[in-house]
Structure 1
Amino acid sequence: MNLHAHLKWRSVGYKLFIIFFVSMSISIMIMGYLSYHKANVIISSKVSQVALQTVQQANRRLELLLNEYANRSLIVFSNREIQKGILGEYRESYDQSYNNQQIAKFLSNLVNVKNDTLNIYIMGEGSASYRLSSNGFAELPMVSKDDQAQEWYKQIIAADGQVVWYGIRPTFIKQNNNEDNKPVFVLGRALKNFDHINQNIGVLIMEFDPESMQLFMSEVDFQAQGTTFIVDQNNTVVADSNASRLMQPSGLNLPSEQSGFLTDVVDGKEMMVVFDKSKTTDWKFVGMAPIQNLVSDSREIGYYTVYLVIGFSVVAIGLALVFAKYMHKPVRVLFWSMRRAREGDFDVQITDVRNDEFGMLFHSFNTMVTRIKNLIDEVYIQKLLKKETQLKMMASQINAHFLYNTLDSIHWISRIYKVDEISTMIFGLSKYLRISLSEGNDFVTVKESAELLESYLSIQKVRYQDKFMVNMKMDPTIMHYRVLKFVFQPLVENAIYHGLENKRGSGRLDISWRMEEQILYFEVEDDGIGIESEKLAELTEVLEIDEVVGEQNFALRNINTQIKLAYGKEYGLFIESTLGVGTKVTLVIPLR
C-alpha cells in the first residue's frame, strides 16, 4: 500500500464516512422501536385528552354537589334559633322548649328537602349541642373537652368559618350502633357568634349518604377497564366508586397543575392517569386505565416501520458518502486559512457563509484574526503615544529646577513691587508646572488633578478678569483615586477658548467631579457660543476613530485615544452642544 492510499484511508473524510454510515445504520435499527413508541405516545395522548375531558365533566358534577352541600351548611350556620340555643339566651324554661322545637323543625325540613343528609351534629361550646340523625332530634350538653381536643375539631376551628371537607370516611361522632362504621361523606364548619363575629361558639358536622357521589364516579367510562377516585392535598384517597381504597395513599405522584395526564406504573401495570383539580376543595378527580387496553390498535404501525427500515438502509450508504465530502471541505478551508495566519498574514478572512458549527468556527477565526491585528495596531499606537509623551516629558524636565527658581524670583519681585496680577499668574504657573511634571508619572490622584485645574484657572482669571465665573463641585470621596494626568485641563481650556472667549458679556463655567458605581464623570459645561450641528457631528465622528493621525481636532482625539488605550473602548469623551446656548463635555473613566 503506497503513502497516498495510506493517507486516504486515514483521512478525516474517510473517518466521517465510517462514522456517518455506522450512525445511520444504528439509527435505522432503532427507528422501528422509536416509531412504534411514538405512535403509542400519540394515541395515548389523544385517548388521554378524551379521558381528561370526561374526568373534567365528572369533576364539574362533583363541584355542583359539593357547592350544594356547602350551601346547606351555610343555612345551618346562619340560623338564629341555633345561635340562641348554643348561647343559652333564654328568659325562661318555656322559651328554651319553644326554641328547641324550632331547631328540630328547621333541621327536619332541611333534611327532608333531599334525603341524602344522614346526620347533623351541632356541637356548641356554650349551653347546649344538638343532633339530628336516624334516631331523631336530641338536645345534648355542650361539647366535651375530649371532643375539642380531637384533631378534626381543631382543623374546623382553624378554618375560621370556612368549610372543611373530609370526604368519604367513618363518622367522627360515634352513636354505638351499627351505623358507626358505615362510610359517610363528612364536612365541618365552625359556628360564629353573629354579635361577635370573631368568636367561635361551636362546630357543625354534616354527614351525607355517599351513594350519589359513588354512583356518578362509577359512571365515568374509559372503555378500558378504568377506575376513578378523588385524592386530597396529601394524595390520600377521600372518595372512590366502591369504597375499596378510602383513606389510603393513592400511590401516584401527581403534579401540582390544575389538570393534565401522565403515565405511571401501578401494581406492575403501566397506567394512563388523568386528573382535574376542583376549584371548591383543591381535591383532584383522578381517572386511571391500563395503557395496553387504550392503544391496542397501534400494532399495524410496527409493520409499516419495518418497510421504512429496509428502504433507509439502502439510502444510508449514499448519504454517508455525500455527508463525508460535505463535512471535509470546510476543514480544508479552515486549515488553509490558519496556515496563512501562522505565516503572518492577518488580513486573511474566510468568506464562506454557513449556518452550522463550521460557520461559527469561521466567524470565530475571522474575529480572532481581526482582534490580533487590532491588538498589534493598538500596541503600536500606544508605543508611539508613550514615546511622544516621554519625549515631551524629557524636554519639559530640562532645567526644571532653574525654571522653578526663576519663576519663584519673579513671583517675589512682583510681590515687592505689589504687582498682584503678575504675582498670582507666576505662582499659579509655577504650581501648574510642578504638578504637571510630577516626576514623570502618567497617573496622579484626583486631588492633584483638581489642584492642577485650580492653578490653570487662577492664571486664566487674571487674564480674563470678570469674563466668566467658575463653579467647581467635587465628590470628596474620590480624592485618593489615581487618574491620567493630562486629560482634564485641555477640556477646560477648550471651554474657555472656544466657548466663552467669543461670547458677548460674562459667562459661566461649571466643572463637576462625581462618581457613580466606581465610574468618574468629569463634566465641563459652559454657556458660551455653542457648536454648530455640522461641526458637532464631525467632532462625534472624530472621537469614534481609533487612529490619531492628522492635525484637526488633535487635542480632543488624542485625549479620547489615551482614555480608550488606558481604560478600554467603552470609556472616553462625550459632547453635547446647542448653538447659542452652550456646550457640555463629559469625560468617563473607571476609578481604580
Structure 2
Amino acid sequence: MRDIRFAAKIIGKFKSIQSAIFAVVTVLLLSAVLVITGVSMRYTRNSIFENSAVYTQNIVQQMNQNIDSYIDYMENIAYMISSNEDVQQYLFGENVDNGTRERLINQFKTILDGRSDIRNLGIIGSNGRKLINDGKQSVNPDLKLSTQEWYLEALQKPEGPLLTSSHVQHIISGERPWVITLSRGIRNFSNSGEKEGVFFIDLNYSAISELCDQNTIGKKGYAFILDESGNIVYHPQQQQLYNELQTENIDLIVKSKEDTVRTEKGNRGKLYSISRSNKTGWTVVGCMSVSELLRKSNQAQSIYVLISALLMIVALLFSRFLAKSLTYPLQRLRDSMSRVQEGHFDGADVEIDSENEIGSLTKSFNVMTHRIQDLMEQNVKEQEAKRKSELKALQSQINPHFLYNTLDSIIWMAEGRKYEEVVLMTASLARLLRQSISNEDEVVPLAREVEYAKGYLTIQKMRYKDKLEFEIDVEPSILNIPLIKLVLQPIIENAIYHGLKYKESKGLLQVKGFMKDGNAVLQVIDNGVGMDEETLSHIYDKHKVNYHSNGVGVYNVQKRLKLYYGEKYGITYESEKGVGTTATITIPGIQEESI
C-alpha cells in the first residue's frame, strides 16, 4: 500500500496523466531494452568464446588425427626397414657383400623418391657401420652420436619408435635442415638381442607445417605442437620464439587438465584449445587471439546497439501512442467537462466504446450531465413561472397605488367644488383603470404606454392647473417596440411628487423617446427641486422611502424591467438639488413580443 501511495505521489508530480503514462512506460520499456541488450551482449560474447573454443577444439583434434596417421605411416616404414634381414646383415654381419648394400640403397631410394617429406633416412650401428640415403652423401665427421638425442634415446627405449622435437640435423656434411626425427632401435639378433643400432627418418619440418595448415583457425589463429616435456615440436613462428619476439604460455598449457585455457592479458590475451595424442605423446594446441574474438563480439555488440537504438525509438513511439490512446478518452471527458462548466450542455455527451473504468466514468458523466440539464430546464421553467407570478404580483401593486393618488386628486378638486373637472378627471380615470387592470396583455406597444402616460399627465395637469406643464416628444421609429405595461406612469408620478409638487414656480415635465446604440431610451425630465445624493441613493429601496408610496412605484418598475429584460437594462437617475431630475429608461431596441 505504501508503495502504491509512493508511486501515485511520483505520478502526481506530472502535469498530465499522458505525460505520466508516457514517462513510466518509456522508462519500463527502455529499461527492458537495456537489460535485454546487456544480457544478450554478454551471452553473445560468452557464446562467441565458447563456440570458438569448440570450433578450435574440433580443428586441433582433426590435426592430431592427421598427425597420428602420418606418424603411424612413418612408423610402419621404420618397422619394415629395421626388421629387414639385409639391415641385420649390413650392421651386424661379419662380412657385408655389395649386394646387401645395394639392396638397402635401392630400398632407401625408393622411399626417398616417393616421399618428398622425408629429408634423410638411414641406419647407424654402434660398431660404426652406417648407411644414409643413397650412400653417396658425406657424413659429418664432427658428428658425435653420443650427443644426439634421437640416437641415444632410441637405443634406450624398450619398444616402439621415438619422436623428437624439431631440431637442426647436421648428420650430412654441409647441411643443417630443420627436421623432426623418428628413430627406432635395431636389435642384434645374431648376438645378445640387445639394441646395437638405430634406424632414423628425418621428416622435413614443412611436412608437419602442411599438416597443421590444412585447417585454418580464424583469420589470425594458428596451431603449434608440444612434446611430452613441453618442448616445441612445431610452431608457425618458431624463429620468432627463438628470438623471444613471441611467447606462448607453455607451462599453463602443460599443467592444464582442461581442453580450453584462456590467458587474461586484455586484448592481447589468447584462447588455447588443447588436444593430446596417446600415440605420439604430442599436444596439438590451437590458438586464437582474444582481440579477434572481441572484434567479432564488438561487431555483434554494434548490431545489438543498433537494434537497441531502433527498439528504443519504437519504444518511444509506442509509449507516446499508448499514452495518447489511454488518455484520449480522458481528454475528451475533460473537454466535455469544461464545456459543461461554461454552461454549454449541447453536445456534452462523450461517446467512448470502452468497458473499463474510463468507460464507466464516462457513462456516469453522461448520466450526470443529462440529469443536470433536466434539472436546469426544470429550474428555468420554475423561474419563468416565478417571474411571471412576480410580474403579476407587482402589476397588482400598481393599480391600487395609482388609484389612491388619483382619487386623492379628485377629492381635492371636489373639495374645491370643481365639479366639471371632477367629472372629466373621473372619466379619464375610468379609461386609465380599464387599461391598467386589463390582464389581456402584459406587454404593449410603446405607443400605448405613451398614450397611457399622456392620459395620466392630463389628469395631473387638471389637478395642478397652471403649476404643471408637460411635453411629449417620442420618435415614431420606436413606437412599435414592445414594452411591459405601466412603466412610464410610476416614473412620471415620482417626478411630480418628488420634484414638481414642492416647486414654488411653474413646473415642466418632458417625456422623450429615441434610439441610442441599438437600445430604445425613454427619459422623464423635470425641472423640480431635485434630490440630494442620499435621497437619490435610496430611490430604488422600497424599505427606505419617506415620500408617500411613490418609492414603491420606482422600485416596482426597476424590478419588473430587470426581471423581463435582464440586469443590463432598467432605470437610471440623475439629479441636482434645485435644478431638476432626469430618469432614463433603457430597453432593447428589438424584442420578442411575448414574455
| TM-score, reference length from structure 1 | 0.40
- Higher Cα radius of gyration: 2
